[in-house]
Structure 1
């Protein structure tokens, strides 16, 4: 069954890739130059740019809050112990759960799909467990 690829789903995918690149480069703040270069290098279509940018700016603007909320529901897991991609997916989903009106089910399902696509075979279940707890709070 082919999943419908919603424009916001594509923006989320780019957001995870951008966050991953920032993690690897130890860039823990939003940089417009870095964003513009990424968007250009990855061929981000103009209609996706606004939502993609809103996501990553929001994540960086609220990074300490997101980290606290994720760790508060992550039993025996610090963010530092998590695979980098899982950390990026969780921050994206936590941002959407806490700061947008995107339906919780959509946020969680998209996050699980991203974790399955880009991380380990156990990441979908791991991300689901943390986000379920976060969504209930």
Structure 2
């Protein structure tokens, strides 16, 4: 497994916990929460920098990302999506919009591979459909 995938998985695990517990997205709170998370779980030192970049970026742009997801997830409110799927989508959308190092298609493919590992089979098609729609709107 590549380093970026490990970083994305770390971000997913953190964001799942963060979302589940309804934690604050203020940068200082997120930093403290990351420190606690890393002491509790084995997060590789090499995966940490990009994972932290994703986490901070998503927490900073959460309203913008969720609005984009809501716009493209017909018949599904963002808050009703499973925690896993919602956070996989957030990671991919953040990368699509804010990370020049990750081409859009790579962000989508990585999201689908992570969904295969952490979510249910039907979620892969759900995530793919939303990300394809987001891709079209982002590339206008």
> Is the shorter-chain TM-score for this pair beyond 0.5, marking a shared fold?
yes
Which residue in the other structure is 1:15 paired with?
A: 11
Distance in 2 separating the partners of 1:11 and 1:117: 15
- Alpha-carbon deviation of 1:28? 3.9
Deviations 1:58-95 (A, max 9, x none): 00000000000111111111102211110010011110
* Structure 2 counterparts to residues 51-130 of structure 1, below 5 A: 51-101=50-100, 102-130=102-130
Structure 2 counterpart of 1:132? 132
Q: 1:117 Cα shift?
A: 1.3
Cα distance, 1:43 vs structure 2:
1.7
Q: CA deviation at 1:133?
A: 0.6
Q: Determine helix, strand or coil for the equivalent of 1:76.
A: coil
Instruction: For residue 121 of structure 2, give the secondary structure of its aligned residue in structure 1.
Output: coil
In the alignment, is the contact (CA less than 8 A) between 2:10 and 2:47 conserved in 1? no
For the residues of structure 2 that align with 1:28 and 1:97, how far apart are their CA atoms?
A: 24
C-alpha distance after superposition, 1:28-69 (max 9, x if no partner): 414211101112222212222111100000000000000001
Which residue is equivalent to 1:26? Answer: 22
Cα RMSD (Å): 1.1
TM-score by length of 2: 0.90
Structure 1 moving runs of 4+ over 6 Å: none
- In structure 2, the partner of 1:6 is 2
